[in-house]
Amino acid sequence: EAEVAQSPRYKITEKSQAVAFWCDPISGHATLYWYRQILGQGPELLVQFQDESVVDDSQLPKDRFSAERLKGVDSTLKIQPAELGDSAMYLCASSPSGSGGTGELFFGEGSRLTVL
Amino acid sequence: AQSVTQLDSQVPVFEEAPVELRCNYSSSVSVYLFWYVQYPNQGLQLLLKYLSGSTLVKGINGFEAEFNKSQTSFHLRKPSVHISDTAEYFCAVSEWGTYKYIFGTGTRLKVLA
């Protein structure tokens, strides 16, 4: 069964360091999402891609976060510099094209970031 | 703007007892509704979804949910829970024609032996 791949699963870093997360969506899924989930809370959208284009990055802290999906396939989320408040689970999800919001989101297992 | 409210942050219930997890939403347009489950240190997995038609939706693992448009609710139910149902449950909404999904804050279901 096709899955969304994410790496690393766990990352511990010190504040002010740079961090990067990688996501490979299910083949053929045009829409890709990065969510941040703080412990005990629901996922919050950081950025949404349609193919290689950003559809929504209104909640992305652009002074320190960046995201790209250069060829419309896999994606990278970067944080530089990391702050203590960035400690969270970073979830990647993808959705098939043409679903118009009716389809389910397929989630990866997430990347848990701890900033010391 | 759309929003999702899950009033119960934690729900303890004994094994084999019924359970209901509440979800209310707010939107100025028509929406699609979803319930996801998350086990510790894992991603979210779809339980069920309501797109249109019958307001009672059945999902995996014996869960079902009922869409109530007048009360803007989409409560999740299971007639008899198992220890393995212990997890975090998230209600989510997306507006028709968009690919934007908004999640609630989650309800932690703890099934007691």
Using CB atoms, pick whichever of B41, B51, B106 lies closest to residue A102: B51
pLDDT at residue A97, as a whole number:
67
Q: Is the pLDDT of residue B53 over 90?
A: no
What confidence tens digit (pLDDT) does each residue in B9-50 have?
Answer: 999 999 999 999 999 999 888 889 999 999 987 889 999 999
Tell which residue, B92, B85, B58, B53, has the closest CA to residue B69: B53
Whether A49 is in a domain gets the answer yes
Cα dist. A42→A72, A73, A79, B39, B52 in Å? Answer: 27, 26, 20, 13, 25
**Interatomic CA distance for residues B21 and A65, integer angstroms:** 35
Tell which residue, B107, B3, B95, B9, has the closest CA to residue B65: B107
**Interatomic CA distance for residues B104 and B2, integer angstroms:** 11
CATH 1.10.238.10, domain B3-112, yes or no: no
**Interatomic CA distance for residues A90 and A111, integer angstroms:** 5
Whether A89 is in a domain gets the answer yes
Whether A42 is in a domain gets the answer yes
pLDDT at residue A101, as a whole number:
57
**Interatomic CA distance for residues A53 and B9, integer angstroms:** 36
Is residue B36 within 8 Å of residue B46, measured between CB atoms?
yes
Mean pLDDT by 10 residues, chain A (116 residues): 91 97 93 93 93 93 95 94 96 80 83 96
What confidence tens digit (pLDDT) does each residue in A53-82 have?
Answer: 999 999 999 999 999 998 889 999 999 999
Q: A56: nearest CA in chain B? A: B100
Using CB atoms, pick whichever of A43, A101, A108 lies closest to residue B98: A101
pLDDT at residue A99, as a whole number:
59
Whether A47 is in a domain gets the answer yes
Number of domains within chain A? 1
pLDDT band at B67 (very low <50, low <70, confident <90, very high): very high
Alpha-carbon distance B71 to nearest alpha carbon in chain A (angstroms)? 21
pLDDT at residue A40, as a whole number:
85
Whether A102 is in a domain gets the answer no
Beta strands A10-13; A111-115: pairing state: parallel
Mean pLDDT of B3-10: 94
Cα dist. A50→A1, A26, A113 in Å? Answer: 23, 14, 26
Mean pLDDT of B63-71: 94
pLDDT at residue A100, as a whole number:
58
CATH code where residue A35 lies: 2.60.40.10
